[in-house]
Structure formats: structure tokens, C-alpha cells
Amino acid sequence: MNRRGQGRFDLESDKKRALELVSVSRETEQRLDVFVEALLLWQKKTNLIATSTLWNLWTRHIADSLQLLPLVADARVWVDFGSGGGFPGIPVACALSETPGAKVHLVESNGKKAAFLREIVRTLGIPGQIHHLRAEKFGESFAEAAHVVTARALGPLKMLCDQAFPLIAKGAVGLFLKGQDVDAELTEATKYWSIQASLVPSLTRPGGAIVVVRGLEPLYAFKTDSNVRPTHR
């Protein structure tokens, strides 16, 4: 049987592999189960994630998201740019549901995806808030201090620096999940930004890394790159 034809049994096997990579509480696991069921249902009418990744949804998307948590163990206020089908914001919110003062701001410009995210937050009762607007607009208008800003499959690192700068300038840590082209993206970004960054190898993507940005200063007059559109998830 090919990957597209794999069924529930194989998804359970993938779940087992994912939870071997990232440990979660029983309550968090239960929330994630509900999230996955809802995502698979909505996926039939709305393209939330790439169809080719459904067979390894738990490792490719959920474990990939949850690996961020140990990098900023004390963080409470998260901002997730381009949340799409909910990654990494929804798994993070599921894991932080029992944490006092936790809030995950999910920023998504696509109306159908934003509606899905609202339904998930309402159903699970997790500490999430949906913002239906583009990332650069959120960064310019968000008055609170975020502890973390994340992005996954949204665009090149240079663009993410443009969008996240207002938050990082106020003390947020940037966590940007990247694939095998991470070194090239970092090189390109440093043409425009002075970046205090480190690379953490990905637990789920061979050759991939998490770019951890703790300091960011523009080399030129700051201007958001609003014309770059998100890449397909």
C-alpha cells in the first residue's frame, strides 16, 4: 500500500514515533488527538496541510512543532506567524494549557484557515487567540511583550526577520523552523540584518534546523517585506 493509501493504523504508528521524539502529558495527548481528528475532517474541504504529509502528520507536523518548547522552557506568551493548519501554534497551545498566564497568538491571513483555528481553540479550550491578518501588520500593531515568535513554512528567513523585528526588538526570541537550505537563508538574511542566532538541529527533518534568534538589528532603514507571499506548507 502506498503512503496516500495508508490508514488509521499507520497514523497510530506515526503517533507512537512522534511521542518518542517529544514527551507530552496524557492531557496534552488527548487534546492533540482531538485536534488531529478535526484537522483530518476539515482537510477534506479545506487544504490545511499538504496532502502528501497526511500519512506522517504526527511526526512531520506535531512533533516538529512540539520540539520548540524545551528551547524556551519558561516562555508563556507566544506569537505564531502564518499558523495555517495550526503549526506550530496549536500543539504548543495544547501543551501550555495547564500553564498559568500562557497565551498563543495565532496569526493567519487566510480566512478559511483562520476559521479552522478558531474552531479548534473553541473546541479544546486552549489558550489561543486568532488574529486574521498578515504577519507584518500584526508585528507593527501588537502592543504587548511576547516571549517567543515562531514561523514554519512561511517564507525565507530574511522576510521573517522583517516581520518579527518589532517583537524581537522588545525581547522576544525567534524560533524559525527551516529545512536543508537554512545556511543559504541565513547568509542571505545577514545581508540586511545583524543577527544573534544559533542553529539547533531538527528532531524531525534530516538536515533541517531551528534558527534561534535572540538579537536582531537592521543594517539599513527598516522596511517590512510585505510583497513576499507564504510558501506552500
**Per-domain residue ranges of the chain:** 68-218
Grid-cell match 511583550, residue found: 145
Q: What is the mean pLDDT of residues 143-158?
A: 95
| pLDDT for res 210 | 98
| pLDDT for res 6 | 43
| pLDDT for res 222 | 54
| pLDDT for res 73 | 93
Q: What whole-number distance in Å separates Cα of residue 192 and Cα of residue 219?
A: 5
- Cα 149 vs. chain centroid, distance in angstroms? 9
Q: What whole-number distance in Å separates Cα of residue 165 and Cα of residue 152?
A: 16
Task: Check: CB of residue 108 under 8 Å from CB of residue 117.
Answer: yes
230, pLDDT greater than 70: no
Q: Name the architecture of domain 68-218.
A: 3-Layer(aba) Sandwich (3.40)
Q: What is the mean pLDDT of residues 93-119?
A: 97
Q: What is the mean pLDDT of residues 16-20?
A: 97
Task: Check: CB of residue 76 under 8 Å from CB of residue 41.
Answer: no
Assigned C-alpha cell, 11: 497514523
CA–CA distance from 55 to each of 12, 36, 231 (Å)?
10, 12, 21
Q: What is the mean pLDDT of residues 117-146?
A: 95
Mean pLDDT of the chain: 91
65, pLDDT greater than 60: yes
